[in-house]
Amino acid sequence: MNEYKNLTLQGLWHNNPALVQLLGLCPLLAVTATVTNAMGLGFATLLVLVGSNVTVSLVRNWVPAEIRIPVFVMIIAAFVTVVQLLMNAYLYGLYQALGIFIPLIVTNCAIIGRAEAYASKNPAPQAAFDGLMMGLGFTLVLMVLGGMREIIGNGTLFDGAELLLGNWATSLRIELFSVDYPLLLAILPPGAFIGMGFLIALKNVIDRRREARQHQPAKEVTRARVTAQ
């Protein structure tokens, strides 16, 4: 299989950072109360992941193995600072909504995990692509979880999208149903844990179905009637 196709499959499905590796759960659970927040944090993580993967891959031959972790962390921290300052400058509303979880991207194990497991052993183009796919996989899970929690908790989708996409995005807001009393549990952290559990279960079910379909024994053609000669 082509290396890039393999990376895509790994990042989006088979080795998805959120659903399979279960890395970076802290931001995943903390900021997914709405799709907008989830998307904002997902893209921030994606940018950091691509940047750090490329840089780590470029310097991999000069970094002694003994001190590689501190070096990787410094690289990641530098990119997080860049992203944080950019968001502060251009997406101030979202910056305030995400709060401490932007600087906390540094501690997202998914990023240092990719730096250590892939980028430090592979050339830059592949590393960049790996970062992109892992970041996309992470962002998609964040968005699905955010969507679930927003629908169940508030009955809306894309509430506050203008914080991320500019003023035209106010028209994106969809009100599926209006509730007098929101189901607070879905918006609070326990809802994130329960939703995450269901997403992982769903992925396992899909995997098992597919496996069962592939391993179906080939139908043996048996003779309907065997008569003695």
Partner 1 sequence: MSFRIAPSPHGHVQRATSDVMRWVVLALLPGVIVQLVFFGWGVLFQLVLAISTAYVCEALCVQARDRAAWPVLKDNTALVTASLLALSIPPLTPWWVIVIGVIFAIVVVKHVYGGVGQNIFNPAMAGYVLLLVSFPVQMTSWLPPMQLSQYSLGLWDSLHVILFEFTPDGYSVEQLRTSVDGITMATPLDSAKTDLSLGYTASEALQKPIFSDFAGLGWQWLNLAYLAGGLLLIKLRIISWHIPLGLLLGLCVPALLQVAFAPDTSIGPLIHALSGATMLGAFFIATDPVSAATSNRGRLYFGLLIGVLVFLIRTWGGYPDAIAFAVLLANMCVPVIDKYTKPTAYGHRRES
Q: Does residue number 151 form part of the binding site for partner 1 (CB under 8 A)?
A: no
User: Looking at the DSSP assignment, which residues form a beta bridge with residue 175?
Assistant: 156
Q: Which of 131, 129, 141, 179 is nearest to 25 (CA)?
A: 141
Q: Does residue number 199 form part of the binding site for partner 1 (CB under 8 A)?
A: no
Stretch that binds partner 1, among 21-29, 117-125, 184-192, 220-228 (CB under 8 A): 184-192
In angstroms, rounded to a whole number, what is the distance separating the alpha carbons of residues 150 and 32? 8
With respect to partner 1, which residue has the nearer C-beta, 166 or 197? 197
In angstroms, rounded to a whole number, what is the distance separating the alpha carbons of residues 156 and 149? 10
Which of 181, 216, 220, 222 binds partner 1 (CB under 8 A)? It is 181
Helices (H), 31-183: 35-59, 68-90, 92-98, 109-117, 124-154, 162-165
Q: Does residue number 190 form part of the binding site for partner 1 (CB under 8 A)?
A: yes
Q: Which of 140, 150, 134, 219 is nearest to 191 (CA)?
A: 150
With respect to partner 1, which residue has the nearer C-beta, 27 or 191? 191
Stretch that binds partner 1, among 82-90, 100-108, 139-147, 180-188 (CB under 8 A): 180-188
With respect to partner 1, which residue has the nearer C-beta, 38 or 187? 187
Shortest distance, position 55 Cβ to partner 1, whole Å:
43
Q: Does residue number 82 form part of the binding site for partner 1 (CB under 8 A)?
A: no
Q: Does residue number 176 form part of the binding site for partner 1 (CB under 8 A)?
A: no
Shortest distance, position 33 Cβ to partner 1, whole Å:
14
In angstroms, rounded to a whole number, what is the distance separating the alpha carbons of residues 183 and 41? 24
In angstroms, rounded to a whole number, what is the distance separating the alpha carbons of residues 105 and 76? 9
Q: Does residue number 168 form part of the binding site for partner 1 (CB under 8 A)?
A: no
